[in-house]
Amino acid sequence: MKIIPAIDIKDKKCVRLVKGDFNNKTEYEISPVDQAGKYKDHGFKNLHIVDLDGALTGETVNLKVIQEIVSKYEINIEIGGGIRNFESIKKYTDVGVEKVILGSAAIKDKNFLKEACIKFPNKIALGLDAKDGYLSISGWKENSDQLTLDYLKEINDFGVSRLIYTDINRDGMKLSPNFNETSKVADISNCPVIISGGVSSISDIKKAKSLNINIEGIIVGKAIYDGDIKLDELAKEIYA
């Protein structure tokens, strides 16, 4: 199972939000590039990066930072945050990211998702952010009337290469992920699923490994920054 540390970038700093709330954020001293290096030094091969500036503006604000991380560390990156057109996808794939995560734009416009999967084969990941079973969009500020599982059934054959499922109620709360709902998503999904939101301890990692065979990995964010999970300890789980 892939263990994927998270880096959220805002104003060129590493930050963490609680439930996606920009007014409830913690800033950390270390730069995104140095934080990526720290993960690389501990043996992690994958990174989950969210450009929060991009999520707010719809532009690839931190493209140069992403490019520096990719070129410096040769690490597999999935990047999300306000990616709403083919031009932005191309900018990221051109600098060498492994996966580009589409969220709100893909939920609002299924044809955009379908075409993106055709134009960029094996590069498109889908971020499904859910609250009480329903998808949320626009940086979690809007709840849609779309049930997560219904939407997934509609787009399941489009060619998405990875699905990242986040329970918003758990994100940044360190309450453990919603394993039950994630398993339901993985049962239906035609592509591998990544667990996101709420990881609080190594026991969450161990539980994730025991779940559905279609679960590819788990994202760990705030628990690392707050020191609840030590990187040395987490790194051991890569090969455990």
Please state the φ and ψ torsions of residue 113, each to the nearest 5 degrees: -60, -45
Could you tell me the domains of the chain?
2-239 (3.20.20.70)
Question: Is 53 among the residues known to form the active site?
Answer: no
pLDDT of residue 189: 98
In this predicted structure, the answer to whether residue 153 has a pLDDT above a threshold of 80 is yes
Contact, 132 vs 169, CB < 8 A?
A: yes
Amino acid type, 198: G
Q: Tell me the per-residue pLDDT of 181-213, one tens digit each, with 9 for 90 and over.
A: 999 999 999 999 999 988 999 999 999 999 989
Average pLDDT over all residues of the chain: 92
The mean-pLDDT minimum among 6-10, 38-42, 144-148 falls in 144-148
pLDDT of residue 27: 87
In this predicted structure, the answer to whether residue 141 has a pLDDT above a threshold of 80 is no
Of 53, 129, 167, 171, catalytic: 129
pLDDT of residue 185: 96
In this predicted structure, the answer to whether residue 218 has a pLDDT above a threshold of 90 is yes
pLDDT band at 84 (very low <50, low <70, confident <90, very high): very high
3-class DSSP string for 89-150: HHHHHHCCCCEEEECHHHHHCHHHHHHHHHHCCCCEEEEEEEECCEEEECCCCEEEEEEHHH
Question: Is 167 among the residues known to form the active site?
Answer: no
In this predicted structure, the answer to whether residue 66 has a pLDDT above a threshold of 80 is yes
pLDDT band at 36 (very low <50, low <70, confident <90, very high): very high
In this predicted structure, the answer to whether residue 63 has a pLDDT above a threshold of 90 is yes
Higher pLDDT, 170 or 147: 147
Higher pLDDT, 132 or 50: 50
* Cβ neighbours, 10 Å, residue 76: 17
Alpha-carbon torsion angle 60, 64, 68, 71, nearest 10: 70
pLDDT band at 143 (very low <50, low <70, confident <90, very high): low
pLDDT of residue 170: 79
Which residues, other chains included, contact 40 with Cβ-Cβ below 8 Å and sequence gap of 6+? 73, 75
Q: What element of type H or E holds 25?
A: strand 21-28
If you average pLDDT over residues 173-187, what whole number do you get?
90
